[in-house]
Amino acid sequence: MPANFLPVSKAEISRLGWEQPDIILISGDAYVDHPSFAAAMIGRWLEYNGYKVAILAQPDWKNPESFQALGKPRLFFGITSGNMDSMINKYTARKKLRSEDAYSPDGCTDMRPDRATLVYSQIVHSLYKDVPIVLGGIEASMRRLPHYDYWSDKLRNSLLFDSRAQYLVYGMGERAILELAEALDRNPQSVPEDIAGTCVLTNSAASDGIILPEFHSKYSAAEFSEMSTIYEKQYRTRVIYQKFAARWLKLNPPSKPLSSQEMDVLYNLPFQREVHPVYAGKKITAFEQICNSVTTHRGCFGGCNFCGIGYHQGKSIQSRSAGSILKEVRELSEKDYFHGAISDLGGPSANMFGMYCQQKIAATCKRTSCLYPAICPHLSTDHKALQNLLKKAARVPGVNHLFVASGIRFDLALRDIDYIRQIAEHHTGGLLKLAPEHKSSRVLELMHKPEFELYQEFLKLFGKYSLEAGKKQAVVPYIIIGHPGATLADTIELALHLKRENVKLRQIQEYIPLPMTASALMYYTGKDENGTDIHIAKGRELRLMKALVQWYIPQNRKLVIEALNNANRRDLIKFFIN
């Protein structure tokens, strides 16, 4: 087999001298041995702890025999749709097939099924009824509860009920998957039900557990809202149960965040940081996008209502040590595919590295966001450790340029003006991407995003420091249209700003309700967090909204006029159409 990759075939397993793997990980992604790819991270972690791990990447769900390619594992099958939710990976906001799958060889779009985790699990169960199945990854994590499914436009049950799996690991998973492997290794016949970061099915609910409204086929919007609210308030610290038919879904609290030392161990595992040779001659776009980047931390305490990162990676920032990160930068600089530029040094929000709750209650705090409606006074917002890391990484031999491209929280950055100066002077490749998401204060409030004035304040400082450094640089804003509560009037307010500033956006994100998020609850119920009715844009109205913020495209002229007519703003037609 290729040196130092996890095995992907029976021939490779045989060359290792194994009779059978302990664990087989089935993934909807191609196998890339890099820490940014979930199957590789979990596989290497289990290998480090003494388990024989093989990877079955992108089996053909139309041919069940392909799921037998590696044989039967001794302990369990671990199943994930891959780094992305399979439905988001395959479909646009308008439910059209995407033209490329970045995690498949040569962008092929037919390498994974819809609802991949569910389909894989059902096939494996039919073939190996006596082997436990463990679900994991973002798709399973965000479907651990009954949830609104945008693609079928209905409520769906917890993935654990529908999949016929025994366990669901949510979150990043290293603690839970290892504890589960050790428990099954000790006693394969015993079902461990109390592991943090897992969900299981059980026959009864403990008397001290939190009980959610029982799920059934005619679940009302009110019941769904009550369920979501209770779970949000309690899941970080309490065991939660929900009945369905004759069984109970048991949702254990999240795993503890990893320490800096534990993060270092993970990222020091023997990743090849390459695509497996079985894909020789083929392009894996997702790898090419991240191969020259380095992850500094996990987690996000931003708490944006439309985002699932906090539910999956957690609210506590889990940072690697500077030494570990610099070691990876040095190793990256020696790769054949590295040509002197680190494309990104960051995490979910680049400038949360090293930040923490000074009260040490991040894992149990009831606030969904440390930044909204205002930055928590207990949050450490010092950027000095990050600034020093950027300086040291930029000085590594072979590194000519170091960029920050993973997104900056501008409200945080305004707490440390020197950081903004450093980003402008040294770490922007001409364009800096920021995410104000909208202009309307009302929409931003529904999103739990900072005030637009803070974005403008950041722009002024960034422009000032770029000019002083003699650099012609600009900020590209990320914008979401169609978020619950947003109207044509709100979108016109946004479009007016973009037109006045001559900001011509090529990419606009149309809102997609992600399972389990607060915004998805708003979308389904038509109510905000206070229970007040809000507008939900659908169908042609979304087309009109997109045309407004891309007014400069000639094909959008008629749509812009239609939007302005519908909003009784004919006075603006000449402003937009000239």
| Secondary structure of 209-252 in HEC code, one letter for each residue | CEECCCCCCCCCHHHHHHHHHHHHHHCCCCCEEEEECCEEEEEC
- The pLDDT tens digits of the residues spanning 171-227 come to 999 999 999 999 999 998 887 899 999 999 999 999 999 999 999 999 999 999 999
Specify the pLDDT at position 205. Answer: 95
Specify the pLDDT at position 189. Answer: 83
Q: At 434, list the tokens.
A: 């920021």
Backbone angles phi, psi at 371, to 5 degrees: -115, -15
The DSSP call for residue 381 is -
Mean pLDDT over each residue of the chain, to the nearest integer: 96
- Are the beta carbons of 87 and 96 closer than 8 angstroms? no
For Cα atoms 426, 353, 286, give the angle at the middle one, nearest 5 degrees. 75
> Over the range 316-339, which residues count as b (16 or more CB within 10 Å of their CB) and which as e?
bbbbbbbebbbbbbeebbeeeebe
* 0.75 exceeded by pTM: yes
Specify the pLDDT at position 548. Answer: 97
Of 321, 336, 315, 322, give the one whose Cα is nearest residue 236. 315
Q: How far apart are CA 395 and CA 283, in angstroms?
A: 31
Helices (H) and strands (E) in the chain, counts: 22, 22
Q: How far apart are CA 129 and CA 65, in angstroms?
A: 15
| Burial bucket for residue 245 (CB in 10 Å: 0-12, 13-18, 19+) | exposed
Q: Give residue 406's pLDDT band: very low, low, confident or very high (50, 70, 90).
A: confident
- How, if at all, do strands 133-135 and 147-149 pair? unpaired
- The pLDDT tens digits of the residues spanning 90-127 come to 999 999 999 999 999 999 999 999 999 999 999 999 99
Q: How many residues does the chain have?
A: 578
- Are the beta carbons of 286 and 103 closer than 8 angstroms? yes
CA atoms within 13 A of residue 146's CA, in its CB half-sphere: 28
> Helices 174-186 and 38-48 meet at what angle, rounded to 10?
50
- Are the beta carbons of 205 and 214 closer than 8 angstroms? no
Its CATH class, for the domain covering 428-578, is alpha beta
As a 3-state breakdown, the chain gives helix, strand, coil percent values, each rounded to 5, of 35, 15, 50
Proportion of the chain above pLDDT 90, given as a percent: 95
- The pLDDT tens digits of the residues spanning 57-74 come to 999 999 999 999 999 999
Of 96, 63, 80, 102, give the one whose Cα is nearest residue 24. 80
**Residue ranges of domains in the chain:** 10-203, 428-578
Beta bridge partners of 341: 401
Specify the pLDDT at position 306. Answer: 97
CB neighbours of 457 closer than 8 A, spacing ≥ 6? 410, 414
Q: At 500, list the tokens.
A: 């006045």
Specify the pLDDT at position 364. Answer: 85
Specify the pLDDT at position 188. Answer: 85
CA 155 to chain centre: 21
Q: Give residue 2's pLDDT band: very low, low, confident or very high (50, 70, 90).
A: low
Instruction: Please state the rounded mean pLDDT for residues 507-523.
Output: 97
pLDDT at 1 over 60: no
Q: Which fold has domain 10-203?
A: Rossmann fold (3.40.50)
Among 118-122, 296-300, 310-314, 465-469, the minimum mean pLDDT is found in 310-314
DSSP conformation letters of 121-187: HHHHHHH-TTS-EEE-SHHHHTTSS-EEETTTTEEE--HHHHHT-SEEE-SS-HHHHHHHHHHHHH-
pLDDT at 3 over 70: no
Q: How far apart are CA 112 and CA 139, in angstroms?
A: 13
Q: How far apart are CA 378 and CA 159, in angstroms?
A: 37
